[in-house]
Amino acid sequence: MSTRKMSTIDGNEATALTAYRLNEVAAIYPITPSSNMGELADEWATRGRVNLWGQVPRIVEMQSEAGAAGAVHGALQAGALATTFTASQGLLLMIPNMYKIAGELTAFCMHVAARTLSTHALSIFGDHSDIMAVRQTGFALLGSSSVQEAHDMACIAQVTSLRTRIPFLHFFDGFRTSHEIQKIALLSDDDLRAILGEEDVQAHRARALTPDRPALRGTAQNPDAFFQAREACNGFYDACPGALEQVLRDFAKRTGRDYRLFEYYGDPAAERVIVIMGSGAETVRETVDFLSANGDRVGVIVVRLYRPFSVPHFVAALPKSARTLAVLDRTKEPGAVGDPLYTDVVASLHEASRTGTLPCAASPDVLAGRYGLSSKEFTPAMVKAVFDEMQKPAPKRHFTVGITDDVTHLSLAVDPAFDIEPDDVIRCVFFGLGADGTVGANKNSIKIIGDETDHHVQGYFVYDSKKSGAMTISHLRFGPRPIRSPYLIKRAGFVACHQPGFLDKLDVLEYAAPGATFLLNTPHAPDEVWAHLPREVQQEVIEKKIRFHVIDALTVAREHGMGARINTIMQTCFFALSGVLPRDEAIAKIKSAITKTYEKKGAEVVRRNHAAVDATLAHLHEVTVPAHAEGTRERQPLVSGDAPDFVQKVTGLMLAGKGDLLPVSAFPVDGTWPLGTSRWEKRNIAVDIPIWDADICIQCNKCALVCPHAAIRAKVYEPDALGGAPDTFQAVDYKSKEIPGLQYTIQVAPEDCTGCNLCVNVCPAKDKANPRHKAINMQPHHEHTDRERANFRFFLDLPEIDRAKSSRIDIKFSQFLEPLFEFSGACAGCGETPYVKLLTQLYGDRALIANATGCSSIYGGNLPTTPFCTNAEGRGPAWSNSLFEDNAEFGLGFRLAVGAHESMALRLVKQYAATIGERLVSELLSADQHTESGVSDQRKRVVALRAKIRDIDEPDAQRLYRRADYLVRKSIWLVGGDGWAYDIGYGGLDHVLSMNHDVNVLVLDTEVYSNTGGQASKATPLGAAAKFAANGKAVNKKDLGLMAMNYGHVYVASVAFGAKDAHTVKAFQEADSYPGPSLIIAYSHCIAHGYDMQFGADQQLRAVQSGIWPLYRYDPRRVLEGKPPLVVDAPGGKIRVQEYMKNETRFRMVEKIDPERFQRFAVQAQEAAVRRMAVYEHMSHLILPGASEGGE
């Protein structure tokens, strides 16, 4: 065995490194946590990296996982070595093809970062529910427990599949393995060649469909044939375990790494044995070592080949001494006898017992345990709890571990103090912000230590649900032996807090072991910092005898022109304090890593970072810790005492990072969650916030419109409402001829603002003497928070405007309407949320929103907080996310249900006409509800109706009483991104648009898959670089609007609030009032475009002015009026498309690679814009013959 090349990489890269070299085709679709595998493959292909056969694999991004599976199936049938990477819902979409691929005995290996399936809620995290959902497809399921295994099994699975013709699904735990960084031994090309049987590859190719040797597959079979033909594959499945065993032997011979189908580890005379697969097996192994050393007779069977489940191999792995097995499933199958692995084990023991192959004297007792759903932590303490349970005289036969189940009492008690981590492993925890680069620097540190020392390393990163001001926690381990601890660090020798504000929110030092080193980035000097710490922190520093160091990293960063990027500075401090490497050597390595990381971004970036590193140590100081805590300031509760009980008890704990402590009883049983909880989380993440200068304001309300977080608001109200206003509360006369005598206020929500600056940039009002000063200006958060907090509280209590009094809702009036979507976790400066907020302002009190999975479902509904909220009457948007692919259909379902309720209510109104009264009935049935006053009047009629029928003791009357609210018109909105509307959900969207039901589709078009990290969609414009279009997308964006116009009965609008906000408001109103399907395609600037989001509105304007994003409205109602249905509101042509493109990194990236290619794209984009507009211009003059009205 030669010395192997080691590399420090994560599980996704480890897998992709193998899969890439063994395949010729990969068809993929992005989905967390597997996206990186496909992205890496595409990146390597773009760079021309070749596979084992000297070819660059063809990587294609499809419209969905179903599409990817279809493409792979076809490639396999045509004789290619093909693969795909997916997870969770993506895997579900592949199921139909998986049956086909297996049924046709096709050699194939796919790789899955196992992830939770959506049930009561979506979760991006890891468990085996997706794997278990395909165990019936005929695929072999081979699991890896670690990064090294993922690298190895990717090869082993593919080799075995080629040999056996059984398709393999190779899986590993999402996030815990896919995103964990480890130092692993790499398989060389020669290794792969040696293990791969070229004759198997040839056999696969020989089965290819080819007209030169034609064959026919995919027949339809009748009862006379199907059953027998289905059984014909049995021999292949029977042979599979043995074949895998042989491959594993060959692999061990070549690499020294010995794997088994079922691998027993522990005391040979173990009485208690855990059966488990995935990363949890590593934790059990580690705990078994510890317990065995203390005399416990325990062991573990690691399941690698889960399908085909080989009973002989399983029982052969069992120690003869085994008395009790605990089978741990990382999935939940409600209603089953037990979860799947458990039932397989029970059935296996039964069979072995009946056939006399069981090695044990008596068939062991089997307990069923469930753990780790959605990446719930699985620790040695939990393993210990399971082993303890197994020796109880009457153990729980079915249990859960890792949670507290106080409802069905299934959970095991866990001793939180049980800790087995060895002292020679260096453990470090870092708290940072996403934006400060902490994770990136830690990844660099791991690589430095992994690549430059003999240490083994492990890195794992915990991220926030929020996209703005997101916190990251990095868990790093370094040690002399391979690290088998796939769980978070609880007792670290080094804790770094990169943002001083965290100390007031979180118990950072909870992670510190006694005697640990604590590094704090703080603006306070070493001799002053102590007084600024919360008392609890002081106490912990003293009690744990912590060595306390500080640095003012922000000042160092700013002095070196790096803004708030403190990552390399803090990294330097880490190396200096941790002593993992000699100080000078560490600094040299850091600088070399900086050069490697940033040299593509320019010499200046490298120079500034190097200079900052050189300046760091002079600013790093140890703090002399006093003997006593003397602070008067205590950590404040994260949620106000005014919050509802649920928010305080449940949301509050989640916000504190202690959601794991919540018992089952704390949660709703069906995933239903209260609205409006985001208002209780005061994040205070802005450095500067907008402050209003009433003297300069022209009262246009544009600031409120563009605010992505509803953190700057406008109100008009009667002057007497100002009674009791704080002294600093600003109010001026409202300039209006229509409603004179009112007061006007623009108010910031100081603790909810993200400081994005969009509002200031769109503010058109400037001080005539000093135009730099506008009607709103960014000013330091800390100088204004206290005052503005009180002002905002008063502002919220001011009466809302009477919607019914509006004769017309224009842009200005729309911003007096209460937003029912506030303080979401969307990115600072998000270009989507202003549309969502506007939707709730206009229709939130009567809207049902179906939201496709993506950014909007994450900022719309990712716990801990919920941004959709209710008005004073308790009405608000009813919001739900079903899936990514089905949102149009899901929303149509809303419409159908609402229609059914409405029909029944209308029928019953007529039935009780005599009781209700003819006039009220007539008004109820004929109400025009297209204005706010119309809706308001109808609500009053419903109240009157209810009063009349409330006491009628008849089922129909009570039915009418309950459904009477449906007499008030509901507004159905189908919201999602371009990934949904253009790609994965297009089939459904197209169908729903074709049906002429009254639904409103809002496409938040960021022109890229934003949520999963910038993969190209069919909405990506020509010339933009995106993942899977690294050199710039070579074809035009799909014209979704034109396709919808093609039906003739669909209202279509293309809007961009930053270019023409009044047009956006008008389009929303027309869409809502249109009685059929409406489609609004909304330009949404996005961080994936690559520029400072504060200029989002400017860039929208450029898009419109250039014609690359024309504004138009296609209203079928105009046909009946004898007018052309299409009105082009902004045709572009004012600037060149290139002037728009030049401002965004996504386009400029292409220029940096190949300036002439960029120029070509710029010319083509210009031509495409002109051509597209020519079509629209032509259409906008077309008067169509009148048509009879369609309808549902």
Partner 1 sequence: MNLSTTYLGFDLPHPFIAGASPLTETPDGARRLEDAGAAALVLPSLFEEEIHLESLATLHSTDSHANSHGEASSYFVEPEEFVIGPHAYLERVRRVKDAVDIPVIASLNGYTRGGWLEYARLLAEAGADALELNLYNVVTEAHLSAGEIEGRSVTIVREVKDQIAIPLAVKLSPFYTALPHFAGQLETAGADALVLFNRFFESDIDVEELAFASDLKLSDSRELLLRLRWLAILSGTLESTELAVTGGVHTAEDAVKAIMSGASAVQMVSSLYQKGIDNLARIKSEMTIWMEEKEYRSLAQMRGSMTIRTCPDPQVLFRANYMHQLRTWDQTRS
Give the active site residues. Answer: 32, 65, 115, 1011
Burial of 950 (0-12, 13-18, 19+ CB in 10 A): exposed
1079 in Cβ contact with 975 (< 8 Å): no
Tokens of residue 293, six digits: 């050393």
User: To the nearest whole angstrom, how small is the minimum distance from the Cβ of residue 332 to partner 1?
Assistant: 22
Structure tokens at 462: 């915990």
What are the tokens at 377? 């932590």
Q: In this chain, which of 96, 561, 674, 934 binds partner 1, going by CB under 8 A?
A: 561
Work out which of 175, 680, 692, 795 binds partner 1, going by CB under 8 A.
175
- According to the binding rule CB under 8 A, does residue 46 interact with partner 1? yes
Closest contact distance (angstroms) between CB of 939 and partner 1 is: 41
Part in contact with partner 1 (CB under 8 A); list of ranges 638-646, 891-899, 946-954, 1149-1157: 1149-1157
Least separation in angstroms between residue 39's CB and partner 1 is 7
> Which helix (H) or strand (E) element contains residue 180?
none
Lay out the site mask for partner 1 across 68-107 (x = CB under 8 A, - = otherwise). ----------------------------------------
Question: Is 1095 near partner 1 (CB under 8 A)?
Answer: no
Structure token pair of residue 1158 = 């960029």
| Contact residue for partner 1 among 490, 766, 875, 1118 (CB under 8 A) | 766
Give the residue with the Cβ less far from partner 1, 199 or 1092. Answer: 1092
Of the pair 285, 1027, the CB lying nearest partner 1 is at 1027
Q: Which residue, 1117 or 1160, is less far from partner 1 as judged by CB? A: 1160
Is residue 871 a contact point for partner 1 (CB under 8 A)? no
User: Is 464 one of the binding residues for partner 1 (CB under 8 A)?
Assistant: yes
* 33 is an interface residue for partner 1 by CB under 8 A: yes
Closest by CA to 304, choosing from 191, 172, 180, is 172
Task: Please choose, out of 406-414, 517-525, 557-565, 976-984, the segment that lies near partner 1 by the rule CB under 8 A.
Answer: 557-565
Place of tokens 């306070």: 524
Q: Among residues 35 and 938, whose Cβ is nearest to partner 1?
A: 35
DSSP 8-state assignment for residue 982: I
For the bound state, the minimum distance from the C-beta of residue 854 to partner 1, rounded and expressed in Å, comes to: 10
Instruction: Based on the shown chain and the rule CB under 8 A, indicate whether residue 463 belongs to the binding site for partner 1.
Output: yes
Dist. CA 387–CA 384, nearest whole Å? 5
Does position 777 interact with partner 1 (CB under 8 A)? The reply is no
Interface pick for partner 1 out of 91, 1087, 1162, 1179 (rule CB under 8 A): 1087
Decide if 94 contacts 131 (C-beta within 8 A). Answer: no
Cα gap 299→263, rounded to integer Å: 10
* Cα–Cα dist 359/63, whole Å: 51
Using CB under 8 A as the binding rule, the residues of this chain from 339 to 368 that contact partner 1 are none
Under 8 Å between Cβ of 152 and 244: no
Q: Kindly state whether residue 605 participates in binding partner 1, applying the rule CB under 8 A.
A: yes
Give the residue with the Cβ less far from partner 1, 126 or 280: 126
Distance CA 14, CA 182 (A): 9
Closer residue to partner 1, CB minimum distance, 1013 or 1075: 1013
Selected binder of partner 1 within 54, 416, 423, 601 (CB under 8 A): 601
Min dist CB 418 to partner 1, Å, is 28
Site string for partner 1, 838-867 (x = CB under 8 A): --------------------x---------
Spatial neighbors of 225 by CB under 8 A, at least 6 apart, are: none
Residue 482 interacts with partner 1 (CB under 8 A)?
no
Indicate which single residue of 347, 603, 900, 1120 sits in contact with partner 1 (rule: CB under 8 A). Answer: 603
Closest CB to partner 1 among residues 600, 628: 600
Using the rule CB under 8 A, which residue among 287, 404, 458, 1010 binds partner 1?
1010
Burial of 10 (0-12, 13-18, 19+ CB in 10 A): buried
In 644-739, which residue ranges form alpha helices assigned H by DSSP?
Answer: 645-646, 652-655, 702-706
- Please select the residue that binds partner 1; options are 4, 24, 43, 1127, rule is CB under 8 A: 43
The helix or strand, by DSSP H or E, that contains position 94, with its residue range, turns out to be helix 88-103
Find the binder of partner 1 among 22, 39, 81, 104 (CB under 8 A): 39
Sheet holding 58-61, edge to edge: 58-61, 25-28, 82-83
Q: Find the angle CA(278)-CA(282)-CA(288) to the nearest 5 degrees.
A: 130
Strand order in the sheet with 365-371: 262-266, 298-303, 272-276, 324-329, 365-371, 398-401
Q: In what order do the strands lie in the sheet with 847-851?
A: 878-880, 847-851, 971-977, 1000-1005, 1078-1083, 1051-1055, 1111-1114, 1126-1130
User: What is the pattern of x (binds partner 1, CB under 8 A) and - over residues 414-443?
Assistant: -------------------xxx-xxxx--x
CB closer to partner 1, 860 vs 1124: 860
* Whole-number Å distance between alpha carbons of 156 and 172: 14
* 1138 sits near partner 1 (criterion: CB under 8 A): no
- Cα-based angle 351, 353, 357 (whole degrees, multiple of 5): 95
Min dist. Cβ of residue 613 to partner 1 (A): 16
Residue from 243, 617, 920, 1149 that binds partner 1 (CB under 8 A)? 1149
Kindly state whether residue 754 participates in binding partner 1, applying the rule CB under 8 A: no
Other beta carbons less than 10 A from residue 325's beta carbon: 25
Give the shortest CB-1151-to-partner 1 separation in angstroms: 8
Dihedral sign computed on CA atoms, order 517, 523, 525, 528:
negative
1012 forms part of the interface with partner 1 (CB under 8 A): yes
CA dihedral 1112, 1115, 1119, 1121 (to 10 degrees): -100
Binding mask 178-207 for partner 1 (x = CB under 8 A): -x----------------------------
Quote the CA–CA distance of 533 and 629 in Å, as a whole number: 10
**Chain position carrying tokens 């009157």:** 944
Q: Tell me the per-residue interface mask from 1013 to 1032 with partner 1, x by CB under 8 A, - otherwise.
A: xx----------xxx--xx-
In DSSP notation, 215-272 reads --------TTTHHHHHHTTHHHHHHHHHHHHHHHHHHHHHHS----SEEEEE-TT-SE
- The DSSP line for 1064-1106 is HHHHHHHHHHSSS-EEEEEE---GGG-S-GGGHHHHHHHHHHH
3-state secondary structure of 480: coil
Is 1134 a binding residue for partner 1 by CB under 8 A? The answer is no
Residue of 47, 213, 737, 1181 that binds partner 1 (CB under 8 A): 47
Give 729 or 1091: the residue with its C-beta nearer to partner 1. Answer: 1091
Q: Which is closer to partner 1, CB of 40 or CB of 1126?
A: 40
Residues 111-170 that bind partner 1 (CB under 8 A): 124-125
* Residue 651 binds to partner 1 (criterion: CB under 8 A): no
Total binding residues for partner 1 by CB under 8 A? Answer: 68
Strand order across the 732-733 sheet: 712-717, 743-748, 732-733
Candidate ranges 214-222, 274-282, 937-945, 1084-1092; the one touching partner 1 (CB under 8 A): 1084-1092
Q: Does 225 bind partner 1 (CB under 8 A)?
A: no
User: Which spans of this chain sit near partner 1 (rule: CB under 8 A)?
Assistant: 32-33, 35-36, 39, 42-43, 46-47, 124-125, 175, 179, 433-435, 437-440, 443, 461, 463-464, 467, 470, 472, 561, 563, 565, 598-605, 766, 768, 771, 827, 858, 1010-1014, 1025-1027, 1030-1031, 1087-1088, 1090-1092, 1145-1146, 1148-1149, 1151-1156
